[in-house]
């Protein structure tokens, strides 16, 4: 497996077969491993699989965990190699962002709900760095996890609106025993918080399985479960939105998404579940 840190070298690297990109911020776990293996399947025997590892400073807001975000590059490379990656792209922040950079990519519709209000500027940072990765790696396919469903919707819209000739694929969320979505931030949880955190998934399942047509009634069901089973958690949001527009819905009449973000003392955890009418 090859490791490239220089952008110009990455741009010179080319394979005649399809290139699949799996963007990550490192601190990889078995959920990332599944994402990378899915990318390997999409690349096929003759294609090339690139995993980018870059902790992107522009998607962290003031007071967020950029400095504390775990970094374990050697372990990450081992996982990438075992999961079938051909190449790891690992640029520095100085490589990715010029000191006088003045151009960014902004989204102003799909980010008005869920994580958008809670993390101002976050999705602009995501769009900017992913657009740069698309231009540097030049993949045919890019794979993102559905755990960050709003991010997936935003990047699909960016691909459409900016005419990136890239197939953006959403991969299913990988979970721990008990249903907690795998996340690099799970390592921040205390043992008691970890015991309570699976209630996020339980609340979302109850919202999805309810016979209530109205979204507010389903949301109240989820809130009651979290209040009872995750008292250490503080709800950032618990919403039901349209799966394409990310706009809040009052009644489940088309494909929707139940989504949650919950603060524990050590981490902010997100999760979601798709709902059909």
What is the residue-wise DSSP string for 184-217? GGGGG--HHHHHHTTHHHHHHHHHHH----BHHH
Residue at which a domain ends, from 109, 144, 171: 171
The band of 138, judged by pLDDT with boundaries at 50, 70 and 90, is very high
Q: Is 14's pLDDT higher than 90?
A: no
Least confident of 42-46, 62-66, 145-149, 215-219: 62-66
Which of 32, 38, 90, 122 is the catalytic position? 32
d(CA 113, CA 118): 9
Q: Are residues 106 and 203 in the same domain?
A: no
Q: Which of 105, 90, 116 minimizes the C-alpha distance to 9?
A: 90
Domain at 146, CATH number = 3.40.50.620
Percentage of residues in the chain with pLDDT exceeding 90? 93
Q: How many domains does the chain have?
A: 2
| 102 falls within a domain | yes
Q: Are residues 194 and 163 in the same domain?
A: no
Report pTM: 0.95
| 176 falls within a domain | no
Q: Is 159's pLDDT higher than 90?
A: yes
| Contact between residue 117 and residue 3 where contact means Cβ atoms under 8 Å apart | no
Report pLDDT for 195.
Answer: 96
Q: Is 16's pLDDT higher than 90?
A: no
Q: Are residues 47 and 154 in the same domain?
A: yes
Long-range contacts formed by 216-222: CB under 8 A, 24+ apart? 216/250, 218/252, 218/258, 222/258, 222/260
Which is higher by pLDDT, 277 or 47?
47
38 is catalytic: no
Q: What is the pLDDT of residues 233-277, one digit of tens each?
A: 999 999 999 999 999 999 999 999 999 999 999 799 999 999 998
Average pLDDT over residues 142-160: 98
| 177 falls within a domain | no
Identify the domain containing residue 254 by its residue range: 184-275
Q: Are residues 188 and 129 in the same domain?
A: no
């Amino acid at each position: 497996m090859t490791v490239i840190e220089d952008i110009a070298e990455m741009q010179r690297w080319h394979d005649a077969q399809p290139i699949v990109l799996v963007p990550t911020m490192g601190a990889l776990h078995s959920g990332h491993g599944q994402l990378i293996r899915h990318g390997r399947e999409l690349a096929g025997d003759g294609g090339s699989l690139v995993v980018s590892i870059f902790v992107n400073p522009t998607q962290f807001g003031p007071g967020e965990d950029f400095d504390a975000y775990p970094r374990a590059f050697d372990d990450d490379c081992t996982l990438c190699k075992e999961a079938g990656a051909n190449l790891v792209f690992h640029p520095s922040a100085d490589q990715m962002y010029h000191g006088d950079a003045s151009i960014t990519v902004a989204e102003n519709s799909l980010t008005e709900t869920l994580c958008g209000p809670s993390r101002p500027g976050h999705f602009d940072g995501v769009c900017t760095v992913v657009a740069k990765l698309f231009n540097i790696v030049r993949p045919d396919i890019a794979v993102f996890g559905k755990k960050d469903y709003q991010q997936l919707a935003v990047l699909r819209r960016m691909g459409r609106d900016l005419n990136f000739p890239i197939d953006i694929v959403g991969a299913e969320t990988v979970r721990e025993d008990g249903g907690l979505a795998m996340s690099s931030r799970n390592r921040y949880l205390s043992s008691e918080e970890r015991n309570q955190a699976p209630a996020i998934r339980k609340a979302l399942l109850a919202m999805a399985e309810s016979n209530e047509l109205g979204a507010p009634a389903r949301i109240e069901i989820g809130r009651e479960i979290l209040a009872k089973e995750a008292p250490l958690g503080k709800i950032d949001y618990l919403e039901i939105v349209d799966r394409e527009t990310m706009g809040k819905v009052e009644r489940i009449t088309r494909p929707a998404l139940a989504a949650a973000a919950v603060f524990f003392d050590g981490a902010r955890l997100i999760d979601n579940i798709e709902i059909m009418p």
